[in-house]
């Protein structure tokens, strides 16, 4: 093994690209020495790694996925503790190095700060839920909204398996965008919470009524749920967003068994009406009709709704493409990990950018997540046989990793 590698200290882990070039014997020797040096630096007893532990740690070193360690399968407490400490130190050191040398200080934050009066975590609000299944299609597999902050006309078209999904906006207002979609999430989350209460009441042998098909929130309630400020501009944009949501229609065509079957197109929201306005002529309260496809997908007395929850910090993500990536990770990675080729990611996003420019944008997002992580998930780009691949991994041991980074 190269002498330079053996002379490294525990607090200066070699880059994974350099580690990958080592032979199996040298990888094992390096990991044994790294473990010993790290434990001595922390004034802890050194526990030589077993063959099984070395195998787990090699995978982790190359992939940086805590799932590869499979710590729950390690029966020896001392060995499990050694693996945990060293993997956290490796991850934390890489995180600190990237922040110091790879991320420009002037990089725009991926997430905005919550509003000053943000008390979402102090007072009860419904959990954030995304769209239910429609004709066995999960809208979290694609971007059902425009990634553009300006008006987008035309049609977004996706072909997934035996289905074709199209998203079309109104002629005057265009396609609903990623920020308009927040209001849709608010409506779905309200309905899911009402259904939760219904089920809870039934279990108590009460006689509850099923949730209504009309949602009547105040503008302040919507803005608070979406973790936005309550300035005049927010109220003005709210009405425009409702117009785009009502005008945007999604259509699913199933092509199974070689037969074409047109599904009925459906909107994000049904009819809406401004119930009252403030003295400044801003929306005070609004009445939103819940579309049948949303209502039927959530209100299922005989089964569990086919909807996933989102982290409330989703609303703080500033870039539409990052919101798309988070939703995709939540659906595909779940509690583990998933990956998408850049071409597939580009296709599922509905982006109008050329693939090359789209890739640059994704690269910027991934770099930004080093210092300003997405909620719940870590992102990594790798080069594969068919081009760049985006890996999404559920973040584990967050508190321990952050502490390890501080200790280095």
Task: Convert the pLDDT of each residue in 84-135 to its tens digit.
Answer: 877 777 766 654 543 343 233 445 688 888 887 775 444 445 688 888 776 5
CA atoms within 13 A on the CB side of 368: 20
Whether 125 maps to a domain, the answer reads: no
CB atoms within 10 A of CB 98: 14
Verify that 331 and 303 share a domain, yes or no: no
Whether 113 maps to a domain, the answer reads: no
Verify that 288 and 154 share a domain, yes or no: yes
Verify that 301 and 324 share a domain, yes or no: no
What CATH code is carried by the domain that includes residue 361?
1.10.10
Verify that 144 and 276 share a domain, yes or no: yes
Whether 222 maps to a domain, the answer reads: yes
CA distances from 199 to 80, 126, 196, 211 (A): 42, 15, 5, 11
What is the reported pLDDT for 2? 44
Exposure string for 341-361, b = 16+ CB within 10 A, e = fewer = ebeebbbbbbbebeeeebbeb
Enumerate residues 6+ apart whose C-beta is below 8 A from 167.
144, 145, 155, 156, 157, 175, 248, 249, 250, 350
Whether 108 maps to a domain, the answer reads: no
Tell which of 102, 120, 144 closes a domain.
102
Whether 114 maps to a domain, the answer reads: no
Q: Which residue has the tokens 């809870």?
A: 200
**Mean pLDDT across the chain:** 82
Q: Please tell me whether residue 41 adopts helix, strand or coil conformation.
A: helix
Tell which of 102, 120, 141 closes a domain.
102
Helix (H) or strand (E) holding 347: helix 342-349
Backbone phi, then psi, for 358, in 5-degree steps?
-60, -45
What is the reported pLDDT for 402? 45
CA distances from 113 to 116, 117, 158, 220, 395 (A): 9, 11, 34, 19, 21
Asked if 186 and 192 count as a contact pair (C-beta separation under 8 A), the reply is no
Task: Enumerate residue ranges in the chain where pLDDT < 70.
Answer: 1-11, 16-17, 64, 91-108, 119-126, 134-136, 256-262, 301-305, 397-408
Verify that 303 and 323 share a domain, yes or no: no
Exposure string for 299-311, b = 16+ CB within 10 A, e = fewer = beeeeebebbebb
Whether 313 maps to a domain, the answer reads: no
Tell which residue, 332, 317, 240, 324, has the closest CA to residue 283: 240
Verify that 300 and 167 share a domain, yes or no: yes
Asked if 16 and 62 count as a contact pair (C-beta separation under 8 A), the reply is yes
Whether 264 maps to a domain, the answer reads: yes
Residue 362 domain boundaries: 318-408
**pTM of the model as a whole:** 0.69
Verify that 234 and 363 share a domain, yes or no: no
Verify that 149 and 298 share a domain, yes or no: yes
Per-residue tokens: 102: 């790879």
Enumerate residues 6+ apart whose C-beta is below 8 A from 86.
34, 35, 38, 57
Q: Which residue has the tokens 């403030």?
A: 278
What is the reported pLDDT for 128? 83
Q: How many Å apart are CA 204 and CA 244, to the nearest integer?
A: 41
Whether 15 maps to a domain, the answer reads: yes
Kindly report, residue by residue over 164-193, the tens digit of the pLDDT.
Answer: 999 999 989 999 999 999 999 999 999 999
First to last CA, the chain: 26
What is the reported pLDDT for 171? 87
With 0-12 CB in 10 A as exposed, 13-18 as middle and 19+ as buried, what is 240?
A: exposed
Verify that 324 and 217 share a domain, yes or no: no
Verify that 143 and 246 share a domain, yes or no: yes
Number of domains the chain contains: 3
Asked if 215 and 269 count as a contact pair (C-beta separation under 8 A), the reply is no
Tell which of 274, 307, 340 closes a domain.
307
Verify that 292 and 215 share a domain, yes or no: yes
Verify that 291 and 322 share a domain, yes or no: no
């Amino acid at each position: 093994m190269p002498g330079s590698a053996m002379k490294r200290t525990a607090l200066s882990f070699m880059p994974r690209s350099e580690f990958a070039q080592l032979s199996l014997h040298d990888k094992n020797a390096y990991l044994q020495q790294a473990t010993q040096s790290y434990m001595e630096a922390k004034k802890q007893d050194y526990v030589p790694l077993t063959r099984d532990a070395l195998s787990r740690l090699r995978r982790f070193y190359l992939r940086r996925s805590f799932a590869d360690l499979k710590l729950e399968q390690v029966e020896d407490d001392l060995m499990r503790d050694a693996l945990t400490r060293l993997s956290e130190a490796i991850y934390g050191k890489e995180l600190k190095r990237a922040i110091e040398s790879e991320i420009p200080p002037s990089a725009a934050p991926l997430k905005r700060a919550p509003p000053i009066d943000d008390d979402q975590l102090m007072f009860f609000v419904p959990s954030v839920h995304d769209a239910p299944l429609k004709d066995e299609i999960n809208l979290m597999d694609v971007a059902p909204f425009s990634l553009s902050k300006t008006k987008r006309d035309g049609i977004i078209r996706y072909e997934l398996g035996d289905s074709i999904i199209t998203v079309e906006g109104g002629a005057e207002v265009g396609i609903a965008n990623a920020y308009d979609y927040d209001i849709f999430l608010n409506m779905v989350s309200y309905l899911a919470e009402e259904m939760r209460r219904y089920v809870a009441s039934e279990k108590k042998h009460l006689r509850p009524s099923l949730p209504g098909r009309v949602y009547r929130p105040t503008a302040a309630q919507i803005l608070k749920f979406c973790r936005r400020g309550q300035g005049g501009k927010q109220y003005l944009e709210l009405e425009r967003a409702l117009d785009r949501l009502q005008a945007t229609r999604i259509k699913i065509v199933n092509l199974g068994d070689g037969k074409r079957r047109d599904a009925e197109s459906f909107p994000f929201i049904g009819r809406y009406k401004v119930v009252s306005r403030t003295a400044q002529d801003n929306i005070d309260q609004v009445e939103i009709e819940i579309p049948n496809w949303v209502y039927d997908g959530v209100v299922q007395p005989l089964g569990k709704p086919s909807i996933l929850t989102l982290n409330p910090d989703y609303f703080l993500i500033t870039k539409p493409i990052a919101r798309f990536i988070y939703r995709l990770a939540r659906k595909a990675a779940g509690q583990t990990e998933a990956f998408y080729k850049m071409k597939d990611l580009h296709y599922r996003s509905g982006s109008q950018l050329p693939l090359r420019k789209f890739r640059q944008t994704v690269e910027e997002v991934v770099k930004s997540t080093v210092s300003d992580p997405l909620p719940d998930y870590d992102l990594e780009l790798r080069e594969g046989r068919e081009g760049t691949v985006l890996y999404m991994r559920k973040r584990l041991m967050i508190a321990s990793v952050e502490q390890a980074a501080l200790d280095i």
